[in-house]
Structure 1
Amino acid sequence: MIKAYWVTLDNNGFINAWSDSEAQGYFEIKSASELFKKLDFVKVVDGVAEIDEVRRQQVIKEFEVTPLSEIDQLKAQNTELRDTILDLAVIIDSLGGELE
């Protein structure tokens, strides 16, 4: 469904912020609802939001090669450690051990 949205653009002309209501510093466009909130690869052409497929592929490629932040690395390690602890608990329980 096409409806009105308000957006801001980055220096390259790609949408970098969306609003579904009028806001200061934003300008009105028309867009399909499925594009709402998509950033960095949607351009406004003649007042209508359109996906720039070349830029979309660039954004995906950049995301795939971006290394994890330190926080994301720690989150992944925490998940691995939690899974290891759960595996050990199952082993101890299967051996008849007591878990406190």
Structure 2
Amino acid sequence: METYYVTYNKTGFIDNWTTEKIDGFLPIQSEPALFTVLNCVRVVDGIAVMDQSQLEREKEAYWQTPPSDLEVVQQENAHLLLYSAELEAVIQQSQREDAELLFVLAEKGVL
């Protein structure tokens, strides 16, 4: 267990963590793994405790939140990169086929 300093939100969950003693922050004991976890950790008898039901609610809220504009653009960019790679593969295949055809035509004396 380590000593950390925290503040709570209205519902009693930790909403700020620090390792430094700051006015308005309360000292607690916590496992290092919980350090920086927000809105899912309560303090019980001076010890940080993960609230599993709140964690599940936070996860559910996260997945139900529509993507931000940045996330939408990143997803579109990923799709465009994939599409570009697929087109490049088609172009390369077409170029190989064209080269093979030209080679055959040249061998036959057509060109």
Same fold (TM over 0.5): yes
Q: Given the two structures, how large is their TM-score scaled by the length of structure 2?
A: 0.78
Between 34-43 and 66-75, the greater mean CA deviation after superposition? 66-75
Q: Distance in 1 between matches of 2:94 and 2:24?
A: 65
Q: Distance in 1 between matches of 2:69 and 2:80?
A: 16
Residue type of the alignment partner of 1:60: K
- Report percent identity of matched pairs: 28
| 1:1-100 alignment, distance < 5 Å | 2-96=1-95
How far did residue 50 of structure 1 move?
Answer: 0.3
Q: Secondary structure at the match of 1:95?
A: helix
Aligned residues: 96
Q: Distance in 1 between matches of 2:86 and 2:72?
A: 21
Structure number having the greater strand percentage: 1
Q: Given the two structures, how large is their TM-score scaled by the length of structure 1?
A: 0.86
How far did residue 42 of structure 1 move?
Answer: 0.3
How far did residue 63 of structure 1 move?
Answer: 1.0
Unaligned stretches of 5+ in structure 2?
97-111
How far did residue 35 of structure 1 move?
Answer: 0.7
Between 17-26 and 28-37, the greater mean CA deviation after superposition? 17-26
How far did residue 25 of structure 1 move?
Answer: 2.6
Q: How big is each residue's C-alpha offset from its partner over 1:67-96, in whole Å with a ceiling of 9 and x where there is no partner?
A: 112221111111111111111112212222
